[in-house]
């Protein structure tokens, strides 16, 4: 088994970004492998998911010990997401073998990244308009059917593309349960992501293109990178970093979808200008509030990363 040193270095720097922002693990690591290291799409998704399955339980245990997990909410999410994640792998395989399935996974990942960018924008918007946060997990009334559907949709997206266990699902939870505190929201999402990613990883071990050397290289680079990013995250300008993350995700999505360089630059320029104008408008209306109300400083008690803010130990995702 050979260790890919350039990939170790690349995953280290990506993991620092993930540790700083608390977001974008799979959404950054998988495109990096495909765009800069020429890893086939299915192999990139498979290896990223298996690496993430190794790391996620650590953060889940931390939140369980702190009592910031709504187990009923987690149960309904997992009821939809776990079988859907395994099915997502089969759906990717159903498109065919060889070049056809690789292109399918590549385009699916591009679409998932666009959804992740939309999720970042939606999260910012919802956080500015949410109601009072709840001080007690017992006060939260779980909505079974919408929660089940969120889990199903998120599970399929994760199974196909490795993106969405945090970036998409947590935005949907924020919309469904606006009174959840940030640590409760993050804790519940992180714990449900453990069986979700494990299911998707199992599917990719059986039917995907898992490569042990890729996964090992990811873990070697990402573990210290995530730790370093989490340690300095409380001092980082979170709003600026999230804005840069959105630009990176958008650029990655456009390249995965085959958009030309000139068109990509124009789109990024327009999106940046629109974002700056919207930011300025919101500031003039009375201050900008980035993140979830009651959110702890990112990485304050974190040893890892995740797609959502403040998540500890998200590992190589």
Whether 291 is in a domain gets the answer no
Residue-wise pLDDT for 158-178, tens only, equals 888 777 666 677 777 877 887
| DSSP structure string for 22-73 | S--HHHHHHHHHHHHS---HHHHHHHHHHHHHHHHHHHHHHHHHHT---HHH
What CA–CA distance (Å, rounded) separates 279 from 284? Answer: 9
User: What's this model's pTM, rounded to 2 decimal places?
Assistant: 0.66
**What confidence category does residue 145 fall into, taking pLDDT thresholds of 50, 70 and 90?**
very high
Q: Quote the number of domains for the chain.
A: 1
313 backbone φψ class: left, alpha, beta (φ>0; ψ -120 to 50) = left
Considering only residues 124 and 197, tell me which one the structure prediction assigns the higher pLDDT.
197
The band of 149, judged by pLDDT with boundaries at 50, 70 and 90, is very high
Judge whether residue 50 has pLDDT over 80. yes
The reported pLDDT for the residue numbered 57 is 76
Q: How many whole angstroms separate alpha carbon 58 and alpha carbon 27? A: 20
Give the per-residue pLDDT at 303. Answer: 39
DSSP code of residue 295: P
Tokens of 299: 């990485």
- The pLDDT confidence band at residue 260, using thresholds 50, 70 and 90, is confident
Angle between helices 25-36 and 238-256 (to 10 degrees): 50
308 domain-assigned: no
Q: What residues make up the domain containing 141?
A: 5-284
In a domain, 52, yes or no: yes
Query: What's residue 296's pLDDT?
Result: 42
The SS3 assignment for 87 reads helix
**84-113 confidence digits (pLDDT tens):** 999 988 887 777 666 666 777 778 777 877
107 within 8 A of 45, measured Cβ to Cβ: no
Identify the pLDDT of residue 212: 86
Percent of the chain clearing pLDDT 70 (strictly above): 68
pLDDT, tens only, 268-305:
888 888 877 777 776 676 544 444 434 444 334 343 33
Mean of per-residue pLDDT scores for the chain: 74
> Is there a domain that residue 289 lies in?
no
Report the alpha-carbon distance of residue 109 to residue 41 in Å, rounded.
Answer: 9
CA dihedral 39, 42, 48, 54 (to 10 degrees): -130
**Domain-located, residue 123:** yes
In the chain, % of residues over pLDDT 90 = 9
pLDDT: which is higher, 46 or 183: 46
At 71 the pLDDT is 87
- 252 close to 114: Cβ distance less than 8 angstroms: no
Q: Is residue 303 part of a domain?
A: no
pLDDT at residue number 248: 74
pLDDT of residue 304: 38
Higher pLDDT, 276 or 240: 276
Distance CA 313, CA 317 (A): 10
- Nearest one of 83, 88, 44, 10 to 209, comparing CA atoms: 44
Least confident stretch, 51-60, 111-120, 284-293: 284-293
Find where tokens 């280290």 sit. 12
Cβ atoms of 203 and 46 within 8 Å: the answer is: no
Name 164's Cβ contacts closer than 8 Å, sequence gap at least 6: 26, 112, 115, 116, 154, 157, 158, 307
Residue 243: pLDDT band (50, 70, 90) is confident
132 DSSP assignment: P
Q: How large is the angle between the packed helices 169-176 and 144-161, nearest 10 degrees?
A: 170
Residue at 208 is within a domain: yes
């Amino acid at each position: 088994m050979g260790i890919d040193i350039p990939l170790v270095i690349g995953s280290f720097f990506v993991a620092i970004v993930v540790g700083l922002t608390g977001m974008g693990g799979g959404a950054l690591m998988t495109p990096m492998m495909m765009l800069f290291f020429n890893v086939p799409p299915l192999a990139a998704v498979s290896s990223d998911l298996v690496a993430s399955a190794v790391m996620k339980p650590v953060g889940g245990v931390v939140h369980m010990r702190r009592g910031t997990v709504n187990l009923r909410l987690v149960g309904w999410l997992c009821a939809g997401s776990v079988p859907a994640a395994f099915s997502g792998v089969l759906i990717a395989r159903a498109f065919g073998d060889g070049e056809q399935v690789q292109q399918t996974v590549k385009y699916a990942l591009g679409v998932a990244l666009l959804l992740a960018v939309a999720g970042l924008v939606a999260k910012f918007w919802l956080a500015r308009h949410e109601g009072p946060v709840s001080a007690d997990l017992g006060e939260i009334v779980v909505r079974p059917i919408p929660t089940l559907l969120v889990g199903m949709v998120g599970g399929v997206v994760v199974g196909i593309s490795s993106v969405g266990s945090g970036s998409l699902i947590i935005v949907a939870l924020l919309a469904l349960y606006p009174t959840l505190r940030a640590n409760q929201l993050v804790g519940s999402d992180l714990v449900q992501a453990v069986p979700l990613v494990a299911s998707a990883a199992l599917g990719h071990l059986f039917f995907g293109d898992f490569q042990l050397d890729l996964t090992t290289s990811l873990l070697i680079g990402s573990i210290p990178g995530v730790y370093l990013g989490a340690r300095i995250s409380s001092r980082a300008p979170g709003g600026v970093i999230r804005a840069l993350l959105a630009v990176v995700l958008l650029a990655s999505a456009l390249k995965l979808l085959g958009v030309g360089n000139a068109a990509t630059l124009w789109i990024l320029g327009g999106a940046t200008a629109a974002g700056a104008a919207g930011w300025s408008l919101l500031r003039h209306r009375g201050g900008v509030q980035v993140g979830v109300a009651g959110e702890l400083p990112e990485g304050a008690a974190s040893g890892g990363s995740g797609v959502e803010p403040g998540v500890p130990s998200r590992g190589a995702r």
